[in-house]
Amino acid sequence: MKDSKMIKPSQFRLAAVALALAAWMPLQASAGILDDDEARRAILDLRAKVDAMSRDINARIDVKADKNVTVDMLNQHEQTMREIAALRGQIEVLGNQIAMAQKGQKDLYADLDARIKKLEPRQETIDGQTAEVLPTEKQAYDAAYARFTSADYAGAISAFQDFVRRFPTSAYAPNAQYWLGNAYYMQRDYKNAIAAQEAVLSNYGTSPKAPDSMLNIASNYAELKDLKNAKKTLQQLVKKYPDTNAAQAAKDRLAALK
């Protein structure tokens, strides 16, 4: 009669599989929320449990008083070992899935961070003054100014008008309005040039571009042979912005008009 304390093959086989599955299933269910350290610890713990279970089964078989182990018990032991091997394979797959998911998450965060930085305001120095501007503002202004410097005055007019419409409070807006007037001047559209420069004075009177706008207004009046308004504008410039380079240029022109 066999020892009554001997564990039946079916009992330890079921216990082994249940232990492995019980350890593996929570890990699989929580894989989506584990961080790197937690995932590694969970996988190491599960591997340790599987190894311990395997050693325990082998030890129980080795210490049995009855060495005439039945064929059925050996078969069940082999089946259990196969199941343990399958669980180890699943552990490896799960570990790879966690690593891939975490890498994808990190890549996503890096991409989002880069996108956010592209939308954040940046410090720019404009006419000696520091201001915060959006990257889209700078890109639009630079594109319009590039058209002006390449002598595409019609394109520059359209681009500067669009800029002022889209970004009326931008630190670049006074400059855009100023160069809009210059683009009209280069096309000999003096009336529109005057209107554009007057918009600098009315909308951005404290801008460093305001004195230059007045000087350009006088130049446009001179081109129209309206010397009266040209002289009047130069006098106003000297009075309103006396300590500027534009005021000195206005004084020189007034002296030439006498």
In the structure encoding, which two tokens stand for residue 196, read together?
Answer: 């554009």
Query: Mean of the pLDDT values across residues 178-196?
Result: 97
In the structure encoding, which two tokens stand for residue 161, read together?
Answer: 């008008």
- In the prediction, which pLDDT does 48 show? 79
Q: Give the integer Cα–Cα distance in Å for 16 and 61.
A: 14
- In the prediction, which pLDDT does 83 show? 79
- In the prediction, which pLDDT does 64 show? 52
In the structure encoding, which two tokens stand for residue 24, read together?
Answer: 């593996």
Q: Which burial class, exposed, middle or buried, applies to 245 when counting CB atoms under 10 A from its CB (0-12, 13-18, 19+)? A: exposed
In the structure encoding, which two tokens stand for residue 210, read together?
Answer: 């305001």
Q: Place 33 in a pLDDT band, splitting at 50, 70 and 90.
A: very low
Q: Place 119 in a pLDDT band, splitting at 50, 70 and 90.
A: low
Contact 235, 254 (CB under 8 A): yes
Percentage of residues of the chain with pLDDT beyond 90: 47
209-223 vs 190-203: helix crossing angle, rounded to 10: 160
Q: Place 2 in a pLDDT band, splitting at 50, 70 and 90.
A: very low
> By C-alpha distance, which of 28, 154, 169 is closest to 90?
28
- In the prediction, which pLDDT does 85 show? 81
Contact 189, 166 (CB under 8 A): no
Contact 164, 173 (CB under 8 A): yes
Q: Place 78 in a pLDDT band, splitting at 50, 70 and 90.
A: confident
Q: What is the pLDDT of residues 128-162, one digit of tens each?
A: 888 899 999 999 999 999 999 999 999 999 999 99
> By C-alpha distance, which of 143, 146, 180, 185 is closest to 160?
180
Query: Mean of the pLDDT values across residues 61-85?
Result: 66
